[in-house]
Amino acid sequence: MNILVTGGAGYIGSKVSLDLLELGHKVFIIDNLSKGKRKLIPKKSIFFKLDISNKKQISNLIKKYKIHAVYHFAAFISVPESLKKPKLYLMNNYYKTKIFINNCIENNVKYFIFSSTAAVYENPKKKIKIKENFKRNPKNPYGLSKLLVENYIYSLQNDTKFCILRYFNVAGADKKLRTGQLNNNSNLFNNLSKAILLKNKVFEIYGKNYLTKDGTAVRDFIHLEDLSNIHVKCLSFLKKKLNNKILTLNCGYGEGYSVYDIVSIAKKRYKLNFVYKKKRTGDLPFIVANCNNLQKKLKWRPKFNSIRKIIDLSVRWEKKL
Ligand SMILES: NC(=O)c1ccc[n+]([C@@H]2O[C@H](COP(=O)([O-])OP(=O)(O)OC[C@H]3O[C@@H](n4cnc5c(N)ncnc54)[C@H](O)[C@@H]3O)[C@@H](O)[C@H]2O)c1
């Protein structure tokens, strides 16, 4: 199939592109390289340096290459940056995505898979695993920009089949070390790897008095390999699906690890120093997915659900960089 991937010069888009290429699909990537890097773009893909809002050129591309499916990863992704520049986040992630979605629909794209986030949910009052129908009420402009896109997709009436994937915390690298995180200062495993590898680096834990078992924030981490496999399965599911009901799925393991848990696991294997810092605005204390729908609908099972493996791969990737 001819597939268009936006944000394919970034962390997740480049990995999903590699896996799609290995399955024999033709992959066309668009990225404006505002955050992504050329070196992450898979060599076998066909790359266009374009902004997702470039209506004319993208419309020509979809027609010329008979694009059937779109994976839309392109976005700005930093919660702290979104708090400083809310308008930029709404413009890039919401308004531009709206232009892009309309363009895809007008050009008869059949399948559209949208990267959303757990940041669309309200802060859960109790420590429960969040289902897809849990209240949406983002705490930061990044989450809001994604929720607005979701709501736009729900409001559409057309023949394109949509899937919304709400990622929890994505971690690790490609198992063959072809791609991974590049200098994402807000990514826990990126920072942890740097603290393990660099003598003068100390790992910073943000917040030690959350109402969790050890006072540090709890997250549901999902390995990049497993997340990419969900994307592949999702497209097969959409192809077989008869109705146009929008499929919305949480993507995680349904297991919560505190930041301190991660540090403890890392310390068993590596030398690591850490300090506690103030809580960051916009961070939630506890957020873990209920993944029953994901497992049932896609008949998906995780294969890389080990924090130790995620740490090892992240460290090897950081070393390679
Ligand atoms: N990384 C995570 O833990 C995580 C968690 C939840 C959701 N997500 C979502 O997954 C998607 C991919 O995230 P990532 O971690 O790979 O981010 P990334 O920053 O590595 O990749 C995003 C890519 O999009 C490109 N881009 C941004 N705006 C663009 C525009 N207007 N036109 C063209 N290209 C543009 C950037 O240059 C970059 O290459 C994002 O939509 C993000 O919101 C990521």
What is the token pair recorded at 40? Answer: 């992450």
Domains 2-171+220-251 and 188-219+253-320 share a fold: no
Using the predicted structure, report yes or no on whether residue 249 has a pLDDT greater than 90: yes
pLDDT tens digit sequence for 169-228: 999 999 999 999 987 667 899 999 999 999 889 999 999 999 999 999 999 999 999 999
- Spacing, Cα 199 to ligand 1 middle (Å): 30
Query: How far does Cα 296 stand from its chain's mean position?
Result: 21
Say what the pTM is.
0.96
Q: In testing the pocket of ligand 1, which one of 31, 40, 114 has its CB within 8 Å of the most ligand atoms?
A: 31
Architecture of domain 188-219+253-320: Alpha-Beta Complex (3.90)
pLDDT of residue 321: 87
* Span 30-59, pLDDT tens digits: 999 999 999 999 999 999 999 999 999 999
Bridge pairing between strands 218-219 and 257-258: antiparallel
Residue 10 Cβ contacting ligand 1 at under 6 Å: yes
The minimum-distance atom of ligand 1 relative to the CA of 74 is: 24
3-class DSSP string for the chain:
CEEEEECCCCHHHHHHHHHHHHCCCEEEEEECCCCCCHHHCCCCCEEEECCCCCHHHHHHHHHHCCCCEEEECCCCCCHHHHHHCHHHHHHHHHHHHHHHHHHHHHCCCCEEEEEEEHHHECCCCCCCEECCCCCECCCCHHHHHHHHHHHHHHHCCCCCEEEEEEECEEECCCCCCCCCCCCCCCCHHHHHHHHHHCCCCCEEEECCCCCCCCCCCEECEEEHHHHHHHHHHHHHHHHHCCCCCCEEEEECCCCCEEHHHHHHHHHCCCCCCEEEECCCCCCCCEEEECCHHHHHHHCCCCCCCCHHHHHHHHHHHHHHC
* Boundaries of every domain in the chain: 2-171+220-251, 188-219+253-320
Q: Which atom of ligand 1 is nearest to the CA of 12?
A: 16
Pick from 5, 11, 231 the residue to mutate for probing ligand 1's pocket: most ligand atoms within 8 Å of its CB. 11
Residue 157 pLDDT more than 80?
yes
pLDDT digits 0-9 by tens, 92-111: 999 999 999 999 999 999 99
Type of residue numbered 224: L
CATH of the domain spanning 2-171+220-251, picked from 3.30.70.20, 3.90.180.10, 3.40.50.720, 3.40.190.10? 3.40.50.720
Report d(CA 146, CA 92) in Å as an integer: 10
Angstrom distance (rounded) from CA 185 to CA 224 = 18
pLDDT of residue 184: 67
What are 162-174's pLDDT values in tens digits? 999 999 999 999 9
